[in-house]
Amino acid sequence: MFRRNPNRRSLLWRMRRLFYLVGLLFIAGIAGAGWVVSQVPLPPAEPLVQTSYVCAADVTEGCGPDNAIAQLSGTENRISVKLDDVPDVVIDAVLAQEDRNFFSHSGLDPVSIGRALWTDIRHQRLAQGGSTITQQYVKNVYLTDDRTLMRKVREAALAVKLERELGKEEILERYLNTIYFGRGAYGIEAASRAYFGRPASQIGISEAAFFAGLIRAPESAEPTRFPEEADRRRNNALVRMVADGHITQDQMDEANATPVADLVLPREVREGLGNVTGSEYGTEYFVDDVRQLLIEEFGAAAVYGGGLRVYTSLDLDVQRAAYESITSTLDPANPDEPAAALVSLDQDNNVIAMVGGTDFATSQVNLALGRSGGGSGRGPGSAYKPFALSRALMDDMSLRSSYDAPQVKVFPEANNGEDWKVTGGGSPTGEWSLLDAMRVSSNTVFAQLMLDLGPARVNDIAERSGVTADLPDVPSVVLGAGEVSVMDMASAYTTFRDHGEHGDPVIVLRVTDPEGRVLWEPDRRRERVMPGEIADMVTHSLEGVIGAGTGRRAAVPGQIVAGKTGTTTDNRDAWFVGYSCEISTAVWMGFPTADAEGNPRLMSNVRGIAVSGGTFPAEIWSAFMTRALEGREPCPFPDVEIEPAPTTTVELECPVDSTDTTDPGTPIELCPPITSDSSTTTSSTSTTAPDDEDPETFSPTTTTTAPPTTTTAPPPSTTTTVVPREDGE
């Protein structure tokens, strides 16, 4: 007869009390841990990370994903929505897949927990199944992903506590805005846009089931990489929806008819700067400048996760006009052609267009912003002369004040102890008034004026007008020494346009939080830089530049405009800066980088010509302003009264004979050394002044009489009318 082993039975029998004690201790430990955790207050939830949105000027309210030109987000792309805005089919799919008893349990589902516990025992590991939606939310918001028993105990206790403090609908809303769906998208709204390009309110059965299947492990079901897994998970969710009575079998079959991979958008790599609407017109450079401003003001965490709504000044139609004015003149794809940049400001000093480059993917250097854009400033050439003229007029000089105007003039010891040789802008009569010197851009006249005024005093006017660059206090600054940005020049010329007042340029009009509360607005204070009549006289002189001077190609049909050309030594940089009564625009042209040997690339032969400010830059400026001002009535500049010249003509002690203007080979007569304040002898960046205008481009015609004292037309010459040729400044 078979008999039990008495020794074995006796051993188990003796150990039964120990097993029982261990079981009691285990249960007591779990209960005690649960009680301890339950006494800990529910910690406050961290604010949800939300995507920030940048909108153009046409959006004045409700900036968001549907009308933004760009989105700013880091690792988390999130758009919070109310539960009422989520379709029922999404809620049905998520509950069927994740927690079908959500509305009946108190935070824990014993059946699901038992099933998960049995799985743990069989596989000898902690399973992730069994958690309710409340538990999942608690884990995502309050806890870590650690797979430990203590974490599960805390999760359960906090889930029960949360259910006592919040209603089911609020928990579900928070959950749907928190869970990760892949592609950097957190929450159902961001996920719907990331995968299907439309808001969650337009989600159907197929999409809802797909999202429900993504929740547990989204990256392993990315449709573009794992299409079969994406289809399998969608089908599982649909089966559960049928079982729970949410949809019919026919609806399931229809939803399964098309593979998920055929429905979703291509996956894109997102790194902070989201898709930019209008990127074909160079708007990325503007958006990137906005991004940097926001980071300085709010910090990166708020910019990439604070859900900011950013209302900007960019006019997309004007931006397109700016971009096309450049690309229709130059070929961005041709490495042998120079680049161009443009900035335009409206009457409120809002930046309505900014072309800092034509291919942001290739180069993120913003050519419109100089050093702050990641590149370098550029010499302004003779576009700097209006600041010297304004200083002279403030010193009680007149537009009719005249200087001797040879083609070449040498100023001994004026360049940090070295001789300063200046060429360009000679007069056939031997002198120019300041009015005509501006019109023909006479370097020799403005060099003398600069020595009389003092570079530091002229730079002070330029700085107060909006030039933010640190310029050298040297005489040659009036001819382009130093480096400025396109933004600086467009901003500084608004001082002349606005009758001597200046306000800083604005790119962001206001920033709000997701609920519309205003967080930031720009400082719109304006400073009086010069008397209004002085600024208006400068404008009057700049009208002549376009009417009968070096900037004739910048004329805008049917509009009244003023502006100035600028070209630096050896045609390295070329500018046109000008304005109507409403819009101020600066255009720069040049090669951004050096050649293979590290030497500056010069524009001595671009399409057969040496580029100066009066050529391509003036043409780009004219093309842009023609479109930007289209449909607007011409706006006249104020009348000005030109005071008579002083009795004694302002000139140096030893003028060079006027024959030098027609025969550059004539020996140059040196004047005695110049004595002036120390500001005129500060070290210069160049011993040779930039040669802005070639004298050979001017032809003397007829002599005219002095003009009337009051006029609004482009100013005639006070001595000799000189008409620039078409081939240069």
Q: For the chain, what are the domain ranges?
A: 48-74+271-312, 75-262, 381-724
Please tell me the distance from the alpha carbon of residue 303 to that of residue 298, in angstroms, as a whole number.
Answer: 7
Angle, CA 573 vertex, CA 331 and CA 457 arms, to 5°? 145
**Overall CATH class of domain 381-724:** alpha beta
Q: How confident is the model at residue 305, as a pLDDT?
A: 82
Please tell me the distance from the alpha carbon of residue 587 to that of residue 615, in angstroms, as a whole number.
Answer: 12
CATH of domain 75-262: 1.10.3810.10
CB atoms closer than 10 angstroms to residue 7 = 7
**Does an H or E element contain 39, and which?**
helix 6-39
Please tell me the distance from the alpha carbon of residue 633 to that of residue 627, in angstroms, as a whole number.
Answer: 13
- Report how far apart, in Å, the C-alpha atoms of 414 and of each of 258, 539, 684 are: 80, 30, 10
Average pLDDT, the chain: 80
Contact indicator for 221, 246 with CB cutoff of 8 Å: no
Tell me the per-residue pLDDT of 472-527, one tens digit each, with 9 for 90 and over.
999 999 998 889 999 999 999 999 999 999 999 999 999 999 999 999 999 999 99
DSSP code for 420:
E
Q: How confident is the model at residue 272, as a pLDDT?
A: 41
Q: How confident is the model at residue 279, as a pLDDT?
A: 74
Ramachandran region of residue 516, left (φ > 0), alpha (ψ -120 to 50) or beta? Answer: left
Q: How confident is the model at residue 45, as a pLDDT?
A: 59
Q: How confident is the model at residue 140, as a pLDDT?
A: 73
Please tell me the distance from the alpha carbon of residue 613 to that of residue 551, in angstroms, as a whole number.
Answer: 8
Q: How confident is the model at residue 641, as a pLDDT?
A: 83
- 0.75 exceeded by the pTM? no
Tell me the per-residue pLDDT of 251-284, one tens digit each, with 9 for 90 and over.
999 999 999 999 998 875 433 445 566 678 999 9
Residues of the chain with confidence (pLDDT) below 70: 1-48, 74-76, 107, 109-130, 142-153, 268-278, 644-729
Distance of CA 686 to the CA centre of its chain: 34
DSSP code for 717:
P
Q: How confident is the model at residue 721, as a pLDDT?
A: 37
Q: What does 334-391 look like in DSSP terms, one character per residue?
A: -TTS-EEEEEEE-TT-BEEEEES-S-TTT----TTSGGGGTS--B--GGGGHHHHHHH
